[in-house]
Amino acid sequence: KQEVTQIPAALSVPEGENLVLNCSFTDSAIYNLQWFRQDPGKGLTSLLLIQSSQREQTSGRLNASLDKSSGRSTLYIAASQPGDSATYLCAVRPEAAGNKLTFGGGTRVLVKP
Amino acid sequence: DGGITQSPKYLFRKEGQNVTLSCEQNLNHDAMYWYRQDPGQGLRLIYYSQIVNDFQKGDIAEGYSVSREKKESFPLTVTSAQKNPTAFYLCASSIGGYGNQPQHFGDGTRLSIL
């Protein structure tokens, strides 16, 4: 059974510092991996989707890498801002599961001004 | 604007009562999903539907029921059989139930027990 882990559960950094968020998964047979942002009491906003054949995806200050064989993904956020404060969740789509996603528990990020 | 609308935003349930959470999308997506989120945890799949008049159980379907009579609507009923219903419920949709399409989420409904 696929399990997705995000460590640490919470992270606090000063404004301007680069953020590094980790995601690990136990079964490398995945179709894709998706990173989401969740603000308190809100739904999820999709940030980046990496196909299993890709090594990374970039969007503005965000860069996500994928190492399928080792079961790891990392989300980098450059030059963090207070507006980046949120919970970040990763989710994998296992190969044999249609479009069902398995989520990690999230990393709660606080960027201090 | 295209998107997913969940209502109500907050819902309270009495003991022994069934309650229904609404999810409507105008994205013309075929697939829809219901997730449950408990504090400090990730999302767990309750039910999903890949096409109208069809739905499948997710990982935690017990105590829940759904219907998919229209493409744009996927209501979730939390029955009295669900003994621990307090959670944040999120609805999502995607273009198809297969393929590499991202899921798009609504803003959620928070359910509490009175």
Express each pLDDT in A71-85 by its tens digit.
999 999 999 999 999
The 3-state DSSP class for residue A110 equals strand
Q: What is the pLDDT of residue A96?
A: 74
Q: Do A99 and B45 touch (CB under 8 A)?
A: no
pLDDT recorded at residue A81: 97
For residue B6, the model assigns a pLDDT of: 97
Residues of B with CB under 8 A from a CB of A: 4, 6, 31, 33, 35, 40-45, 48, 50, 58, 88, 90, 92, 94, 96-108, 110
pLDDT at B1 over 80: no
Asked if A106 and B40 come within 8 Å (Cβ–Cβ), the reply is yes
Residues B92, B33 contacting (CB under 8 angstroms):
yes
Res B105 pLDDT > 70: yes
pLDDT tens per residue across span B23-51: 999 999 999 999 999 987 889 999 999 99
Neighboring chain A residues of B96 at a CB cutoff of 8 Å: 99
Instruction: Give the pair of three-digit tokens for residue A80.
Output: 């963090």
Residues ≥6 apart with Cβ < 8 Å to B50: A98, A99, B30, B31, B56, B96, B97, B98
- Is residue A113 a contact partner of residue A15, using CB atoms and an 8 Å limit? yes
Residue B76 DSSP SS3: strand
Spatial contact of A46 and A36, defined as CB atoms under 8 Å apart: yes
Going by C-alpha positions, the residue among A28, A14, A1, A23 that lies closest to residue A105 is A23
More confident residue, B1 or B60: B60
Q: How high is the pLDDT of residue B98?
A: 66
pLDDT of residue A1: 84
Of A42, A99, A103, the CB nearest to B43: A103
B45/A49 Cβ within 8 A: no
What percentage of chain B reaches a pLDDT higher than 90? 75
Phi–psi pair at A49, nearest 5 degrees: -125, 125
Least CB-CB distance to A42: which of B33, B40, B108?
Answer: B108
Per-residue pLDDT of chain A (113 residues; tens, 9 = 90+): 889 999 999 999 999 999 999 999 999 999 899 999 999 989 999 999 999 999 999 999 999 999 999 999 999 999 999 999 999 999 999 887 667 899 999 999 999 99
Tell me the per-residue pLDDT of B79-100, one tens digit each, with 9 for 90 and over.
988 889 999 999 999 987 666 7
Q: Are B65 and B74 in contact (CB under 8 A)?
A: no
Positive or negative torsion for Cα B83, B84, B87, B93: negative
What is the CB-side half-sphere exposure of residue A32 using CA atoms within 13 A? 17
